[in-house]
Structure 1
Amino acid sequence: VVNEVVGRFDGQARVGIHAHDDTACAVANSLAAVQAGASHVQGTANGYGERAGNADLFSVVAGLELKLDLPVLPEGSLAELVRVSHAIAELANIAPDDHQPWVGASAFAHKAGLHASALKIDPDLYQHTDPALVGNDMRVLVSELAGRASVELKARELKIEVDREVVGRVIDRVKEMEAAGYSFEAAEASFELLLREEVGGKRERPFLLESYRVISDSRHDGGLASEATVKIIVGEERIVSTGEGNGPVNALDMALRQALERFHPQLGKFELVDYKVRILEGAHGTGAVTRVLVRTSDGHREWDTVGVDENVIAASWQALDDAYTFGLLIADRSGADAS
Structure 2
Amino acid sequence: MTTTASAAPRSDLLQVSPLGDAFHVFDTTLRDGAQREGITYSVADKIAVATLLDELGVGFIEGGWPGAMPKDTEFFARAAAGELTLGSAQLVAFGSTRKAGIRAKDDPQVRALLDSQAPIITLVAKSDVRHVERALRTTLEENLSMVGDTVAFLVGEGRRVFLDCEHFFDGYVADHDYGLRVAEAATTAGADVIVMCDTNGGMMPVGLHQVVAEVKARTGFRLGIHCQDDTGCAVANTVAAVQAGATHVQCTANGYGERAGNADLFAVLGNLVVKMGLPVLPDGRLGEMVRVSHAVAELANIAPNTHQAYVGSSAFSHKAGLHASAIKVDPELYNHLDPEVVGNGMHILITEMAGRASVELKAKEFGIDLAGLPQVVSRVVDTVKEREASGWSYEAADASFELLLRDELAAARGEEVTAPFRLESYRVIVENTANTVGQGRIVLSEATVKVHVGGQRVVATAEGNGPVNALDSALRAALADHLPGLAGVELIDYKVRILAGHAGTDSVTRVLVASSSTKAAGAPEWTTVGVHANVVEASWEALVDSLVYALRSAPEPVGPTPGA
**TM-score, reference length from structure 1:** 0.88
Instruction: Find the partner of 1:130 among 338, 344, 347.
Output: 338
Instruction: Find the partner of 2:365 among 143, 151, 157.
Output: 157
Change (3 A) 1:324 1:45: farther
Alpha-carbon distance in 1 for matches of 2:216, 2:480:
65
| TM-superposed deviation, 1:127 | 0.9
Alpha-carbon distance in 1 for matches of 2:303, 2:480:
28
Alpha-carbon distance in 1 for matches of 2:406, 2:395:
17
CA contact (8 A) 2:400 2:528 kept: yes
Tell me whether 1:166 sits opposite 2:376 in the alignment: yes
170-179 or 257-266, larger mean C-alpha shift: 257-266
Instruction: Find the partner of 1:208 among 400, 413, 422.
Output: 422
Change (3 A) 1:222 1:28: farther
In the other structure, the counterpart of 2:495 is 275
311-320 or 249-258, larger mean C-alpha shift: 249-258
Alpha-carbon distance in 2 for matches of 1:14, 1:171:
58
60-69 or 242-251, larger mean C-alpha shift: 242-251
Change (3 A) 1:130 1:198: same
CA contact (8 A) 1:241 1:259 kept: yes
Pairs within 5 Å for 1:1-339: 1-10=211-220, 13-162=221-370, 163-201=373-411, 203=417, 205-220=419-434, 221-222=440-441, 224-262=443-481, 263-265=483-485, 267-268=487-488, 270-281=490-501, 288-298=507-517, 300-332=523-555
Alpha-carbon distance in 1 for matches of 2:443, 2:497:
18
| TM-superposed deviation, 1:204 | 6.1
State the secondary structure of the residue aligned to 2:336. Answer: coil
State the secondary structure of the residue aligned to 2:307. Answer: coil
Alpha-carbon distance in 1 for matches of 2:334, 2:442:
51
The two structures, once aligned, show a CA RMSD in angstroms of 2.4
Opposite residue 459 of structure 2, the aligned amino acid is V
Alpha-carbon distance in 2 for matches of 1:274, 1:73:
39
Alpha-carbon distance in 2 for matches of 1:113, 1:94:
32
State the secondary structure of the residue aligned to 2:459. Answer: strand
Alpha-carbon distance in 1 for matches of 2:459, 2:215:
75
Opposite residue 321 of structure 1, the aligned amino acid is V
Task: Please tell me whether Structure 1 or Structure 2 has the larger radius of gyration of its CA atoms.
Answer: 2
**TM-score, reference length from structure 2:** 0.55
| TM-superposed deviation, 1:253 | 2.3
CA contact (8 A) 2:464 2:470 kept: yes
Opposite residue 82 of structure 1, the aligned amino acid is V
| TM-superposed deviation, 1:265 | 4.6
State the secondary structure of the residue aligned to 1:73. Answer: coil
Alpha-carbon distance in 2 for matches of 1:54, 1:328:
45
Alpha-carbon distance in 2 for matches of 1:60, 1:274:
35
Deviation string 1:10-41 (CA, Å, 9 cap, x unpaired) is: 1xx33222222221111111222222222222
Deviation string 1:24-74 (CA, Å, 9 cap, x unpaired) is: 111111222222222222222222222222222111111111111112222
Change (3 A) 1:8 1:120: same
State the secondary structure of the residue aligned to 1:70. Answer: coil
| TM-superposed deviation, 1:222 | 5.0
State the secondary structure of the residue aligned to 1:331. Answer: coil
Change (3 A) 1:8 1:327: farther
321-330 or 265-274, larger mean C-alpha shift: 265-274
How many residues get paired? 330
